[in-house]
Structure 1
Amino acid sequence: MTTARPRAGLSGPGRAGRLRNIAAGIAAGLALWLAPAAAQARCVPGQVQFRTDSGIVTFHVSLARTPAERERGLMNRRHLPRDAGMLFLFGKPGPVSFWMHDTLIPLDMIFMDQSGRVTRIHANATPLSDMPINGGSRVFAVLEINGGMAARADIRPGTVMRADTMPQKRAAWRCARR
């Protein structure tokens, strides 16, 4: 009967196995070190991103910053591409209400605070309605997208949004510095 003996100085997984374990440890460390950089990728002008439980969702947006742009919004549009929307920005958080006067398509209105966190969603607003839609008392931004898209994209209260137009110092999910 022959007994196999381990080679001197090599017990356990062997030298090759130990090297693989060391390499895996280094790779895991690098991944943890680089994760914040990936989480803070650069934001693209004209886009907003939401970080949901299902992944990252991107919308291409036009901006409504001035009172005239905010008043006009998406009125009289017959179509809005699936991945498009309009981002309404307010100079400081406060109470806002919207309506659907002269708006021809159903919209989801996503209300956010200054950190970009979703505070409220009004789904499938009725076209041409003059009924006020209350967004809350501390609204900083509102994204209008096609009706039903918020649910399909898994956007809900508490979801965070990032955009280069949001104040980065207060952002729950920041854009990387340029």
Structure 2
Amino acid sequence: MNIPTLTTGRLTLRPVARDDLDTYTEIWVDEEFARHIGGPLDGHSMWHNLAGNLGCWALEGVGPWSVIENETGHLVGRAGLWVEPGWPGIEAVWFVGRSWWGRGYATEAANIAAAWVFTQRPELPEVVSVIRPENTASIKVAQRLGMRYDRSEHLHGGDKGIYMISRAAWVARG
């Protein structure tokens, strides 16, 4: 598997690693953090979650990265891409621990991930994000990325909003 490392001025997106397990578990046991994405997760469940993230890379050629704050070296969350059978498209995803909310990290990390996939897959017509309707913070991130609500789909046991940005709209936003 060749998982690249991406950097922004404030963040590094690097491959998910076994050593991330404890920090991810600490982030995911926070009920406020986990309420829109499933959880909280214990260490055993989180190990399976991380294995699935690496499996996405192996099976689909895209996946999430661990997000590291450059200034401190702290793991602050996970962001990147997701796709699975029956999914509405390649999805930009972001999960930032509550201690780091409000700093723009989700938008920054999702932005570089979407830019990467549009570069790597010139045939890709759009990137989507699958968001629960009550997750207003993630809807705002999607909107900052230039995504617009497209439709609702029933996925993973519930109705989710599908936000999308076309390649043309991505290029036009600069």
Query: Is the shorter-chain TM-score for this pair beyond 0.5, marking a shared fold?
Result: no
TM-score relative to the length of structure 1: 0.26
Considering only CA atoms, is the larger Rg found in Structure 1 or Structure 2? 1
Structure 1 or 2: more strand by fraction: 1
